[in-house]
């Protein structure tokens, strides 16, 4: 807890304030004077306390921590923070829900954001993932439409089951993620008791310039714990800030949550013939194909001192890479490389990356970018152009990531279909992995929501996607939906 400062109260300009309880008036019973500067300043500042909330993932909690490398990975990446067993890197992790507004309840059924910033000596590396290994769609072009169905309807002002199921049922590639979401892991008990995933496939490249495709997994060391829908509903009413409070107080007690970090590594040469498109975000790489390899440990051990400054104003971008790590051709990831920096400039401002939580901690940003709102003058009188004859930062000549072969003409259209690519196979496999009890809860959770849809054709189409994933799944869901709809 921050120690309270003593001494005279002042205005924003530092002048002592005589009275913070009564405004200056024209006589004891008269109106307030325009010269009551302290009052005007207070009211004006108060009116400007909010910045736009994140358009998605508005509701969140964050903490600082430490990543420790436990395995030599230099055969796959030349990233300096991954160069030496035992090396530690400071991190900041922000958890979030996706659809709810800033003040919404924590215990809703929704993916959880798992946005991790590594403050490395080669710049900040942001891994902006979720607690699910897959996603609802596979092209960034569909993201605004998808999110519109999750957010408030323009007419009713509420989230509408019709919109959600209309979109999902017409986007069958969402079947895998929806099956995941309505299963037990759809409502984590706390932010400490869930896994995190990088979700996308990313490029790693080593000193020799060899390319590997990787997926990140953060396995909770606290064990997986979830809430049933009934428990979650109760907690949402009784303690809407449940997850945020749990994280903060666990760290205050010295119970530092941790995650075992694993990667799946695919040599670049495997990608073209792999049975699934390895850059399709609606699919996992089965562990039998690419076993997860343990590479490190992530611990959260320090709470932010000021939630607005460090959590609300924190910014994460999938485009923040460091040498040895880069993007894959995943169409969702490609869209995200643009979307986040753009959101930051709108939401926090052009100098968002200068704020203490966002700027590099283990190196310095050296750019020729200058000025703009709230520029702090950090570059003093340094030249702000290049080439110049006065010195200053210089390009390295080596890109962060290695080139990737492409072929064919520019076009619109679906990505190449690999041997086992479809919209339903992995959803069915996930259903069959679940215990009988878990399957029953999955069917009940889905049926409860689908039953709210106003049109029979949308409900039927929704059920049909799950039938195509697994016949038994579809049958049970149909019966359950019919029982509820009458």
Q: Provide the annotated active-site residues.
A: 57, 130
Give the nearer residue to ligand HEM in terms of CB position, either 51 or 479.
Answer: 51
Phi and psi for 91 in degrees, rounded to 5?
-135, 160
Q: What are the structure tokens assigned to 190, written together? A: 């706390």
Within residues 3-22, the interface with ligand HEM by CB under 6 A covers none
How far, in whole angstroms, is CA 293 from its chain's centroid?
A: 23
User: Binding site, residues?
Assistant: 340
Least separation, in Å, of the C-beta of 281 and ligand HEM? Answer: 6
Helix (H, G, I), strand (E, B) or coil at 32: strand
Give the nearer residue to ligand HEM in terms of CB position, either 9 or 55.
Answer: 55
Give the nearer residue to ligand HEM in terms of CB position, either 140 or 450.
Answer: 140
Burial of 88 (0-12, 13-18, 19+ CB in 10 A): middle
Applying CB under 6 A, among 60, 65, 324, 425 the residue interacting with ligand HEM is: 60
Q: Can residue 199 be called a binding residue for ligand HEM (CB under 6 A)?
A: yes
Q: Can residue 65 be called a binding residue for ligand HEM (CB under 6 A)?
A: no
Least separation, in Å, of the C-beta of 95 and ligand HEM? Answer: 8
Separation of alpha carbons 257 and 477, rounded Å: 37
Phi and psi for 123 in degrees, rounded to 5?
110, 170
Asked if the peptide bond before residue 201 counts as cis, ω within 30 degrees of 0, the response is no
What's the first-to-final CA gap in the chain, in angstroms? 55
Q: Can residue 99 be called a binding residue for ligand HEM (CB under 6 A)?
A: no
Taking CB atoms, the residue at the shortest distance from ligand HEM is 113
Separation of alpha carbons 241 and 258, rounded Å: 21
Separation of alpha carbons 370 and 13, rounded Å: 26
Task: With CB under 6 A as the rule, give the number of residues binding ligand HEM.
Answer: 27
Least separation, in Å, of the C-beta of 94 and ligand HEM? Answer: 4
Separation of alpha carbons 473 and 471, rounded Å: 5
Helix (H, G, I), strand (E, B) or coil at 172: helix
How far, in whole angstroms, is CA 110 from its chain's centroid?
A: 12
Least separation, in Å, of the C-beta of 113 and ligand HEM? Answer: 3
Q: Can residue 355 be called a binding residue for ligand HEM (CB under 6 A)?
A: no
Residue 92 β-bridge partners? 64, 117
Least separation, in Å, of the C-beta of 457 and ligand HEM? Answer: 28
Among the listed ranges 51-59, 251-259, 357-365, 367-375, the one in contact with ligand HEM (CB under 6 A) is 51-59
Cβ-contact 442, 179 below 8 angstroms: yes
Within residues 106-135, the interface with ligand HEM by CB under 6 A covers 113, 115, 128-130, 135
Separation of alpha carbons 301 and 173, rounded Å: 38
Separation of alpha carbons 38 and 11, rounded Å: 6
Applying CB under 6 A, among 77, 96, 195, 426 the residue interacting with ligand HEM is: 96
Cβ-contact 127, 92 below 8 angstroms: no
Separation of alpha carbons 80 and 213, rounded Å: 18
Give the nearer residue to ligand HEM in terms of CB position, either 328 or 439.
Answer: 328
Applying CB under 6 A, among 39, 337, 343, 350 the residue interacting with ligand HEM is: 343
Least separation, in Å, of the C-beta of 343 and ligand HEM? Answer: 4
Within residues 133-192, the interface with ligand HEM by CB under 6 A covers 135, 140, 143
Give the nearer residue to ligand HEM in terms of CB position, either 307 or 339.
Answer: 339
Radius of gyration, alpha carbons of the chain: 25
Applying CB under 6 A, among 193, 347, 461, 467 the residue interacting with ligand HEM is: 347
Q: What are the structure tokens assigned to 27, written together? A: 């006589």
Q: Can residue 55 be called a binding residue for ligand HEM (CB under 6 A)?
A: yes
Give the nearer residue to ligand HEM in terms of CB position, either 129 or 323.
Answer: 129
User: Binding site for heme, residues?
Assistant: 340
Least separation, in Å, of the C-beta of 144 and ligand HEM? Answer: 7
Report the interface residues with ligand HEM, using CB under 6 A.
Answer: 54-57, 60, 94, 96, 113, 115, 128-130, 135, 140, 143, 199, 314-316, 332, 335-336, 339-340, 343-344, 347
């Amino acid at each position: 807890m921050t120690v309270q400062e003593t001494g005279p109260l002042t205005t924003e300009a530092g002048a002592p304030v005589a009275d913070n309880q009564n405004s200056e008036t024209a006589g004891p019973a008269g109106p307030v004077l325009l010269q009551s500067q302290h009052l005007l300043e207070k009211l004006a500042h108060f009116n400007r306390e909010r910045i736009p909330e994140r358009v998605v993932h508005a509701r969140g909690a964050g903490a600082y921590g430490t990543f420790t490398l436990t395995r030599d990975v230099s055969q796959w990446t030349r990233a300096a923070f991954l160069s030496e067993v035992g090396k530690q890197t400071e991190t900041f992790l922000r958890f979030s829900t996706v659809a709810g507004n800033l003040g919404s309840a924590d215990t809703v059924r929704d993916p959880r954001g798992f946005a991790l910033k590594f403050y490395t000596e080669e710049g900040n590396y942001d891994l902006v993932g979720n607690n699910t290994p897959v996603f609802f769609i596979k092209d960034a072009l569909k993201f605004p439409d998808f999110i519109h169905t999750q957010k408030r309807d323009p007419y009713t002002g509420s989230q509408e089951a019709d919109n959600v199921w209309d979109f999902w049922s017409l986007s069958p590639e969402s079947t895998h993620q929806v099956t995941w979401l309505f299963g037990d892991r759809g409502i984590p008990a706390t932010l400490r008791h869930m896994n995190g995933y990088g979700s996308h496939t990313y490029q790693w490249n080593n000193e020799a310039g060899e390319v590997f495709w990787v997926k990140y997994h953060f396995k909770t060391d606290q064990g997986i714990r979830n809430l049933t829908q009934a428990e979650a509903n109760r907690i949402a009413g009784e303690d809407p800030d449940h997850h945020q409070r749990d994280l903060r107080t666990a760290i205050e007690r010295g119970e530092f949550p941790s995650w075992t970090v694993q990667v799946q590594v695919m040599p670049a040469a495997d990608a073209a013939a792999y049975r699934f498109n390895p850059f399709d975000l609606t699919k996992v790489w089965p562990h039998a194909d690419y076993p997860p390899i343990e590479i490190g440990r992530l611990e959260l051990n320090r709470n932010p001192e000021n939630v607005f400054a460090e959590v609300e104003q924190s910014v994460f971008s999938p485009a923040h890479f460091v040498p040895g790590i880069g993007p894959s051709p995943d169409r969702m990831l490609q869209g995200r490389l643009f979307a986040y920096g753009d959101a930051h400039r709108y939401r926090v401002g052009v100098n968002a990356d200068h704020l203490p939580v966002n700027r590099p901690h283990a190196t310095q940003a050296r750019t020729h970018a200058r000025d703009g709102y709230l520029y702090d003058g950090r570059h003093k009188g340094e030249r702000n152009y290049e080439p110049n004859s006065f010195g200053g930062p210089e390009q390295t000549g080596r890109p962060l990531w290695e080139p990737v072969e492409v072929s064919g003409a520019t076009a619109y259209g679906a990505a190449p279909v690999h041997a086992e690519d479809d919209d339903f196979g992995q959803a069915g496999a996930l259903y069959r992995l679940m215990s009988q009890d878990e399957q029953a809860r999955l069917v009940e959770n889905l049926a409860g929501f689908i039953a709210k849809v106003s049109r029979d054709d949308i409900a039927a189409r929704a059920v049909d996607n799950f039938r195509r994933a697994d016949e038994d799944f579809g049958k049970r869901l149909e019966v359950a939906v019919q029982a509820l709809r009458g």
